[in-house]
Copies of this chain bind each other. A is one copy, B any other.
Amino acid sequence: MTDPTSLQTALAQAEQLCRVRGVRLTALRRRVLELVLSSDTPQGAYAILDTLRLQDGRAGAPPTVYRALDFLLEQGLIHRLASCNVFIGCCQPTAHHSGQFLICRSCGKVAELDSQEVEKLIRKQAQKAGFRVESQMVEIAGYCQQCQKQP
């Protein structure tokens, strides 16, 4: 999400969501969300921390950013990619959904797949094995359309 308009829209939507839920999107949390959303590629916690220190001049330590990230994860405003320890904005924050990610090995950009079909099939197959699914994590590595065209 690079363009300023959709960034502002997403932030406004997040504020609305938090208001409705009765939770507080504080300045810090809002700023961390903004940093995650505005980056072209997913960011690690320490990269976010560095930005907070450099761009905002805020004296911060790891808990500062991890706590904000935890809040945003709980509210479904961001996702965490376990395979690379990075955080990415959620494309559909209103509907808590299971994460399905397409991670490009060349440019590092990540897209959400968000296929109901995949989610349902996984649930079905897991149930066949007697397993009760609570959460799904699908991380797909490969090459995005752009990068396939280039050498």
Which listed residue (B130, B132, B137, B142) contacts A133, Cβ 8 A?
Answer: B142
Instruction: Give chain B residues whose Cβ lies under 8 Å from the Cβ of A133.
Output: 140-142
CB distance from A120 to the nearest CB of B (A): 10
What's the interface size class on A, roughly? Answer: 20 to 34
CA distance A126 to B148 in the complex (A): 14
Question: How many monomers of this chain does the complex have?
Answer: 2
Inter-subunit contact B135/A137 (CB<8 Å): no
A111 within 8 A of B: yes
Inter-subunit contact A131/B142 (CB<8 Å): yes
A121 within 8 A of B: yes
| Known contacts A125-B115, A125-B118; A132 and B138 CB within 8 A of each other | no
List residues of A whose CB falls within 8 A of some B CB: 82-83, 102, 104-105, 111, 113, 115, 117-118, 121-122, 125-126, 129-145, 148
